[in-house]
Amino acid sequence: MNSPTLAPNSAAARDIAYTLHPYTHLKQHQDSGPLVITSGKGVRVYDESGKSYIEGMAGLWCTALGWSEERLVDAATRALRQLPFYHGFGGKAAPATIDLAEKLIHLAPVPMSKVFFANSGSEANDTAIKLIWYYNNALGKPEKKKIISRTRAYHGVTLAAASLTGLPANHRDFDLPLARILHTDCPHYYRFAKNGETEEEFATRLAENLEQLILDEGPDTIAAMFAEPVMGAGGVIVPPATYFEKIQKVLKKYDVLLVADEVICAYGRTGNMWGSQTFDMKPDMIATSKALSSGYLPISALMISDAIYQGMVKSSEKIGVFGHGFTYSGHPVPAAVALEALNIYEERDIVAHVREVSPILQNGLRNFADHPLIGEARGIGLVGAVELVRDKATKESFDPALAIAARVAKAAEIHGLIVRALPGDIVAFSPPLVIEAADIEDMLASFSLALDDTLIWVRESGLV
């Protein structure tokens, strides 16, 4: 794919000159430049030339209500006029923040006590780690501090959250993970099940491995486990049957807290308001962000159980203050937008809409299973992925240096579709929850063309 010739004063040229991009191959970006998106409407976004793209990733898993939702724009405008900023330090509060906390507690899939607000999923998960340590100190358990995550998990990019994340690119050359962070098995049946092993047997083996890890480290040292209901950036990995049932029995046996990372899965993505409901998780903490405001303004929330809150009160009383928080924790403007987004999810019954249209996406993805490049198609609700392989029979992957998934994603852009390439030659889909059947069909058709374009290149290059 040829690099463009950029006018010296163009947006793309100035971007290359001045912007450091997240999750970008920096050397390639110097040569190719950005895709500059200038507007959006519904489930489509438009670049600076006016070309239209179906946004098959809802931005970054987040713009659940699509672009140009006027109710969210109006909510932000009203909030900016009334109280453009206030904070929560020293017991101060803004009405919108109070309303949002109350709403979240009432919506929670299991009983929760309090909400702590931050600005991103990374900060919510980072805060959860700090609160777990704070809580165990309050209980007089100073050794109970180790946190278990999973390989290929994604929980963010702050120092602690990136340590939870189980992807090599988030650790290499960042000197991560930090101490006290452990990783157990990835629950990806396609990649890691043994020959002849059923999903239930695979789940049993993973639960046994988790228990052995806890015993090897010492149960009195293990504080919590973090888990996404569906693993997102690690490859849209749907847990095997009985997985969370068996995992939670182990955690309960050894008094290990469960933190549900609902940053991607909440608000209908999996066909229920919460991914925890889809997989019958009973977490002690819930981290949520992204679709909380439909991505319109940065905000995240961490919900905690009453037991954890009471422990925090005890430590705060001892120390004289709860010494954690961000300038923008509970910012009234994002809080107002998030509250309106939650109202829209309920009023329009977004969960019911997801259940109605998601079979079109899931069946469509599974129809790609016969394509020569596809090893597995998977997903649930309105989140899915396909995994590209060199050999379908052996599941052999392409050389990572070829970046086949990135090539498919770039070809999809040519055909008017934005998807996301993930490590392991996986292409992810997570369209706005308001997407209609016809747009899903268009999305799948564009992706089919991108797959075929890539297959031609793969064959001409002698890679299969």
CA separation for the pair 126, 71 (Å, rounded): 31
What is the rounded average pLDDT of the residues 344-352? 98
Q: Render 308-357 in DSSP notation, one character per residue.
A: HHHHHHHHHHHHSS-----TTTT-HHHHHHHHHHHHHHHHTTHHHHHHHH
Which strands sit side by side in the sheet containing 374-380, from one edge to the other? 374-380, 383-388, 426-429, 420-422
With a CB cutoff of 8 Å and minimum separation 6, the contacts of 210 are 148, 184, 185, 225, 247, 250
Contacts of 427 (CB under 8 A, 6+ apart): 385, 386, 388, 405, 408, 409, 412, 419, 420, 421, 447
Reported as a single tens digit per residue, the pLDDT across 241-272 is 999 999 999 999 999 999 999 999 999 999 99
> CA torsion sign, 148 to 153 to 155 to 156?
positive
Instruction: Measure the CA–CA gap between 440 and 361, rounded to whole angstroms.
Output: 6
User: In the predicted model, what is the mean pLDDT of residues 81-93?
Assistant: 97
What residues form DSSP beta bridges with 42? 67
| 72 Ramachandran zone, left/alpha/beta (phi>0; psi -120 to 50) | alpha
- State what percent of residues in the chain have pLDDT above 70: 99
Nearest to 279 by CA among 342, 353, 187: 187
| Per-residue model confidence as pLDDT tens digits over 415-460 | 999 999 999 999 999 999 999 999 999 999 999 999 999 999 999 9
The pLDDT tens digits of the residues spanning 95-145 come to: 999 999 999 999 999 999 999 999 999 999 999 999 999 999 999 999 999
Query: From CA 70, how far away is CA 41, in angstroms rounded?
Result: 11
Residue 2 scores a pLDDT above 50: no
416 with 450: CB under 8 angstroms? no
**Range(s) of the chain covered by CATH 3.40.640.10:** 71-347
Contact status, residue 115 vs residue 104, Cβ threshold 8 Å = yes
Cα–Cα distance, 406 to 444 (Å, whole number):
17
- CA dist 128 and 124 (Å) reads 6
**DSSP secondary structure string, 41-58?**
EBTEEEETT--EEEETTH
**Section 278-282 average pLDDT:** 98
Q: Tokens standing for 122?
A: 């990374």
- Range(s) of the chain covered by CATH 3.90.1150.10: 35-68+350-460
Mean pLDDT for the chain?
97
pLDDT at 7: 82
DSSP-derived letter for residue 384 is E
pLDDT for 4? 59
- What whole-number percentage of the chain has pLDDT above 90? 98
pTM here?
Answer: 0.96
Q: How far is CA 373 from the centre of its chain?
A: 25
How do residues 362-400 score in pLDDT, each as one tens digit?
999 999 999 999 999 999 999 999 999 999 999 999 999
Measured between alpha carbons, how far is 325 from 284 in angstroms, rounded to an integer?
20
Rg, C-alpha atoms of the chain? 22
> What are the tens digits of pLDDT across the range 163-205?
999 999 999 999 999 999 999 999 999 999 999 999 999 999 9
pLDDT in tens, 291-303: 999 999 999 999 9
Q: Any idea which residue has 């679709």 for tokens?
A: 291
Helix (H, G, I), strand (E, B) or coil at 427: strand
The whole-number pLDDT of residue 417 equals 98
What is the dihedral sign for C-alpha 112, 114, 116, 117? positive
Q: How confident is the model at residue 210 (pLDDT cuts 50, 70, 90)?
A: very high
Q: Which CATH class is domain 71-347?
A: alpha beta
Angle at 224 between CA 222 and CA 228, to 5 degrees: 140
What is the chain's length?
A: 464
Q: What is the pLDDT of residue 1?
A: 45
> Which residues fall within 8 angstroms of residue 149, CB to CB, at 6 or more apart?
155, 163, 164, 165, 166, 181, 182, 183, 184, 225, 226, 227
Q: Is CATH 3.90.1150.10 the right assignment for the domain spanning 35-68+350-460?
A: yes
